[in-house]
Amino acid sequence: MKLDVLALLLAALAGAIMAFQGAVNAALGKIVGLLEATFIVMIIGLLTAFIALFPLRLGHGDIFKFTGAPWYSFMGGMLIVLITYAVAASIPKIGAANATTAIVAAQVTTAFLIDHFGLFGLQAIPFSWWKAAGLALLVVGTRLMLLQ
């Protein structure tokens, strides 16, 4: 499997943006409350997606094909609320670096399993000892980051 460098850079950018987003969501949560901040963030996200999709016509798909999507593909809406809330709740208590470290470790571990089993219609990317070694190093690095 050849890595697409642009896709890797986009993923890295998303990771950086996620850390930034968690911090600003936590700041909003301190002022208005965590669930309230989550709601505000979701409304702004909905408006942003609406503007990009309809007035700006940046979409290249067909939104009306949603009826053909499998049931599990709609879980993202619920999951993003849980993610936004959990990140905004954890950052003020343990800090952005510690929260992000735990997030990344759990994210990579879960992604490893999704890839290995080819879940949710994705192509299976089998287990390899190199990946297992990388995951082990990530876990050790996570432990080091969380030391006080």
Query: What percent of the chain stands above pLDDT 70?
Result: 99
Residue 1: what pLDDT? 61
Alpha carbons 88 and 92: distance in angstroms, whole number:
7
Residue 142 pLDDT more than 90? no
Closest-CA residue to 77 (of 53, 107, 42): 42
Do 139 and 105 form a contact (C-beta atoms < 8 A)? yes
| HSE (side-chain half, CA atoms, 13 Å) at 128 | 8
Helix (H, G, I), strand (E, B) or coil at 127: coil
Question: What domain count does the chain have?
Answer: 1
> What is the mean pLDDT of the segment spanning 107-128?
92
CB atoms within 10 A of CB 137: 10
| Structural domain harbouring 27 | 5-146
Alpha carbons 60 and 4: distance in angstroms, whole number:
21
- pLDDT, one tens digit per residue, over 25-84 is 999 999 999 999 999 999 999 999 999 999 999 999 999 999 999 999 999 999 999 999
Highest average pLDDT, of 4-8, 47-51, 90-94, comes from 47-51
Q: What is the mean pLDDT of the chain?
A: 92
Residue 93: what pLDDT? 93
Residue 8 pLDDT more than 90? no
Query: What percent of the chain stands above pLDDT 90?
Result: 71
Residue 3: what pLDDT? 74
Residue 51: what pLDDT? 98
